[in-house]
Amino acid sequence: RQQARQAGRLAGKSFLVTAGPTHEPLDPVRYLANRSSGRQGYALAESLADLGADVTLVSGPTGLRAPAGVTVSFCETARQMRDLALNAVQAHRFDAAICTAAVADWRPAVMQDQKIKKTGRDDQPAPLALIPNPDILAELSELSPFRPSLVVGFAAETEKVEAHARAKLERKGCNWIVANDVGAGSDVMGGPDNQVILMTQDTVEHWPRLSKEEVARRLAMTLADWFSKAN
Ligand code: CTP
Ligand code: CA
């Protein structure tokens, strides 16, 4: 069977996968987040492990079951995710890092110790000051001396998907970008399917609409092909 022939193709290779949203606290009961379910990243971690890879998954809050055979570290915020990812890279020397997480780009400038209270019925909220979070993909891409040989980002776009993804590839310094359209009318974020464009420095591949599990299997195979050519 196809499956049996593929098993073990990534034996001896190690992968870091980030997945899920991050939650950025505003006060003890509120946070900023996004619609990411974590499903694509979890499916990818599982597919890589199915091919024999050693996989570390750094996950934001998802409520998903940890994939079999994968080491999972959980976090809430972007800064925690960054620390877990960079510590793991230093301890582990991964062959590849794949950032599927929908990291919050900004966090509240101040995390209030106590719940922010209304004082009256027509109270206007105070303006919400935000500050930038670390960019985990960019940090991994420029990491030295432990940069994984292959660093892969995902790109969530609502328009001009290919152009934005190409720009992101350059800006982040990663090797590949898996771009998807998460615009209105697409049910990608949180949904069961994904339609992606796989972009490298000199190639662009449009994949058909597939389940996230199928995208994960294809991507794991593509990675196995790349490693078998590279080494
Ligand atoms: N990413 C990350 N850390 C961040 C923001 C993004 O690691 N603070 C990673 C994501 O995991 C993804 C890639 O960067 O692999 C692109 O994320 P995306 O949100 O599409 O791009 P941004 O560079 O944040 O730009 P924008 O949200 O404005 O499109
Ligand atoms: Ca972003």
Ligand 1 site, CB within 6 A: 18, 78, 99, 101, 103, 105, 133, 135-137, 153-156, 168
Give the closest ligand to the alpha carbon of residue 169: 1
Q: How far apart are the first and last CA of the chain?
A: 25
The CA 170 to ligand 2 mean position distance, Å, reads 15
Alpha carbon distance 230, 214 (integer Å): 24
Alpha-carbon 88 to chain mean position:
15
3-state secondary structure of 102: strand
pLDDT of residue 169: 96
Q: Is the separation of the CB atoms in 221 and 6 below 8 Å?
A: yes
**Please, what's the b/e burial string for 30-53 (b: 16 or more CB within 10 A of its CB; e: otherwise)?**
ebbebebbbbbbbbbbbbbbbbbb
pTM: 0.95
Predicted interface score ipTM higher than 0.95:
yes
Q: Give yes or no: 34 in active site.
A: yes
pLDDT one-digit tens code per residue, 88-97: 999 999 999 9
Residues 6+ apart with CB under 8 A from 167: none
pLDDT one-digit tens code per residue, 21-43: 999 999 999 999 999 999 999 99
The residue contributing the CA closest to ligand 1 atom 8 is 135
- Probe ligand 1: pick from 18, 36, 105, 186, max atoms within 8 Å of CB? 105
